[in-house]
Amino acid sequence: MPAELTDEQIHNVLQGIRIPPQPQIMVDLQMEQAMPDPDIEQIAKLIRQDVSLSGMMLKFVNSPFLQHSNQISSIEQAVALLGPTTVINIINGLSIKGEMSDQAIRAMTRFWDTATDIAQVSAHVARAIGAKNPDESYAVGLFHNAGIPLMMERFPDYDDVMMESYARDEPRLIDVENRMLNTNHAVVGYYVAKSWNLPRHLCEVIAEHHNVQQVFAQTGTRAQERKTLLATLKIAEHVCGNFSILGQQEVDHEWQRLEQDVLIHTGLTQYDLEEMAQNFRDMGITVHGGY
């Protein structure tokens, strides 16, 4: 878990990086979610106020990944089908786009496509291994790299730094960023998630998503939950070819270091991953060529 920093330390870490304010729709949805009995109609009403979010929500709920026999044509149906938590996770992810310039969004097309695929695969893997909260795996998959768009806006050469990070077989992928930029996308992503009031334990997992070996060395119930979230994320990143799409590399060095621990923790085999990958491919999710 990242140590609490003083205001001065946070300023130094985020120097020149603007953490976008939490969009009002997220505030409103989180308030409704916090109610003892969230009102599906009210949640749908809030989403309908934004045409773009409504369209994206219907596109998601009708995607091959969810395998519905009937076309979902209304936001109310989508919310009832997915449940308030999943809907709010999706809106959270889409809202990041809304806080960026059009130019930055165009430059990050591959990032957004990959984030959505990783979120869906993370949730599927979580369900397959009987994880308690697959929605949390979805949220981590969607948000874990939320710092990357902000790093790209702040550092003109960040694309090159990211490729260098994926190319090197170092203990942690973020070590190159720390050396060259004095911060990294996991730290920035943690503060984005924290400032947008995501659950604290999810913020911590986002901060630690390139410190997986250290987390896997921990013990206790809380550590087990974090291991599961990180394990489902790392499987999804590898299956979706994050190392190839973002890092533009042919080898997933991070997965090579983590594979044994992740498979032991989840009880999955390489054959299981290959079978899942084929299912994802059939659903229209991009799967890297190794599967």
**pLDDT tens for each residue of 49-94:** 776 677 777 777 777 666 666 777 778 888 888 787 777 777 766 6
- Residue pair 144/137 in contact (Cβ under 8 Å)? The answer is no
DSSP letter assigned to residue 246: T
- DSSP-based three-state secondary structure for 97: helix
User: CB count, 10 Å around CB of 277?
Assistant: 20
Token pair, residue 116, equals 């959505």
114-157 pLDDT, tens per residue?
A: 787 898 899 899 999 999 888 889 889 888 988 888 888 788 89
List the Cα angle 139/253/2 in 5-degree steps. 45
- Residue pair 185/174 in contact (Cβ under 8 Å)? The answer is yes
192-220 pLDDT, tens per residue?
A: 788 777 788 999 999 999 999 999 999 88
List helix spans (H) across 69-157.
75-82, 84-98, 102-107, 109-128, 134-143, 147-154
Between 272 and 21, name the one with better pLDDT: 272
**Percent of the chain clearing pLDDT 70 (strictly above):** 80
Token pair, residue 74, equals 């209304």
Of 7-11, 25-29, 77-81, where does the model show the most confidence? 77-81
